[in-house]
Structure 1
Amino acid sequence: MDAELNRRRIIAIARVAFADEGLDLPMREIARRAGLGIATVHRHFPARTDLVTAALAELVAECRGDMQTFLDEPDPWRALSGAVHGFAEHRVQDRGLNEALFGSHPSAAAFAVDRREQARAMEQLVRRAREAGAVRPDVTVDDVRVCLGAIASFRLAHSTTDLQRLVDILLIGLAADVRGEAVR
């Protein structure tokens, strides 16, 4: 019973810590925050990858579901812009999740398949939007990745309104129909 409570506590602490500080936070610090010894943490999670996987698995599954929703959206612009907005609204506050899905952090090796699937899905969204004329004809998936990188680097020390403004500006830059107003 205590072992299971300790495991859940470690995962909860790690999830918050990784979100705030990234995946490089030492396991010793997670143990300290959980009020446990490092040996207890290592009994449950022998390697950092085990802890990262346990802490982020639920969030990565949510991302998978979100992306499927965008892929199922029949309107190509709404699908692509929804994916960008979704990333900004739900993921920018979670540094660890960004590192796991959009970076190449070694501790996030368990999510390599998810990273590839997310990349393929984004390629599909961009291709659909380009074929429908919803984005400029020269827009590539790399352009969208640059946008996501800009959003990921934006920390919420700024206001949420500033973040929304950034997303709107980035999407206007991608859109085929630029009228000087936010494209949604």
Structure 2
Amino acid sequence: MPVESRPLRRDAQRNRELLLAAAREVFGAKGLEAPLDEIARRAGVAIGTLYNRFPTRAELIDATFAEPVGRWVTIGEEALAEPDPWDGIVQYVVRSCELHSIDRGLTQVCTESYPDAPGIEAAKLRSWDVLVRLVARAKDAGVLRADAEPSDLPMAVVAASRIAELESDPDRWRRHIRYVLDGLRADKRRATRR
């Protein structure tokens, strides 16, 4: 029986959870190149325990970020459920920015390819499908510029997350994202009420 299909012992499960929580903190603050020994230290386990549970950095990244990347799918689906297509676009962008502005690792995972992280890549494909539908709906309703592309929205989110990283005021991105949304709106009325 493969190791993954056997239930973990209680102590092994606890170590796994500690490692994943530490990885979220360290990767979130320092990015995906953060030292693995720092993650093990923060989890209170030996580096060997980390490698025993996650033999490669890619496996640790996949286990750490597959669920958070999946939140993007939920954000997109909730935005699609908004009765007003423009409000859906705004909701998608603002909620995505809120996630990315506080998590450097999540931004990296969403903007780079991780072929050795199948959970992340599957979540990104589902997220993209929802985003394409969200953009098409807004364009069909005439509220999003005709030349807007689905990739414009994640790029705006990434730019806003970079602003949050560089500014002393972590919410400064909100001002900048209003400018971006104003530029994406087809009828040029004030883009957001947020």
Please tell me the TM-score bracket, short chain as reference.
0.7 to 0.9
The residue aligned with 1:70 is 79
Q: Secondary structure at the match of 1:154?
A: helix
Q: CA deviation at 1:161?
A: 4.0
Within 1, Cα distance between the matches of 2:191 and 2:152?
A: 18
Q: Closer, same or farther in 2 for the Cα pair 1:161/1:33, shift >3 Å?
A: closer
Which residue of 57, 60, 66 corresponds with 2:69?
Answer: 60
Q: CA deviation at 1:45?
A: 1.4
Q: CA deviation at 1:157?
A: 4.4
1:16 and 2:25 matched = yes
Q: Secondary structure at the match of 1:141?
A: coil
Q: CA deviation at 1:109?
A: 4.0
- The aligned amino acid for 1:169 is Y
The answer to whether the 8 A contact 1:101-1:114 is kept is no
The residue aligned with 1:169 is 179
Q: CA deviation at 1:34?
A: 2.4
Q: How does 1:23-172 map to 2 (within 5 A)?
A: 23-105=32-114, 108-158=117-167, 159-172=169-182
Normalized against structure 1, the TM-score is what?
Answer: 0.86
Q: CA deviation at 1:164?
A: 0.7
- The aligned amino acid for 2:172 is D
For structure 2, list consecutive stretches of 5 or more residues without a partner in the other structure.
1-9
Within 2, Cα distance between the matches of 1:42 and 1:96?
A: 20
Normalized against structure 2, the TM-score is what?
Answer: 0.82
Deviation beyond 3 Å, 4+ runs, structure 1 = 105-109
The answer to whether the 8 A contact 1:135-1:175 is kept is yes
Q: CA RMSD in A?
A: 2.1
Aligned pair count? 183
Q: CA deviation at 1:35?
A: 3.1
The answer to whether the 8 A contact 1:53-1:110 is kept is yes
The answer to whether the 8 A contact 1:49-1:110 is kept is no
Q: CA deviation at 1:31?
A: 1.5
Q: Secondary structure at the match of 1:155?
A: helix
% identical equivalent positions:
34
* Deviation digits for residues 122-158 of structure 1 (CA, Å, limit 9, x no counterpart): 1211111111110122222233343223123223442
The answer to whether the 8 A contact 1:48-1:107 is kept is no
Q: After superposing the two structures, state which structure 1 stretch, 95-104 or 75-84, moved more.
A: 95-104
Q: Secondary structure at the match of 2:48?
A: helix
For structure 1, list consecutive stretches of 5 or more residues without a partner in the other structure.
none
Q: CA deviation at 1:174?
A: 0.3
The answer to whether the 8 A contact 1:175-1:183 is kept is no
Q: Closer, same or farther in 2 for the Cα pair 1:182/1:70, shift >3 Å?
A: closer
Within 2, Cα distance between the matches of 1:160 and 1:24?
A: 22
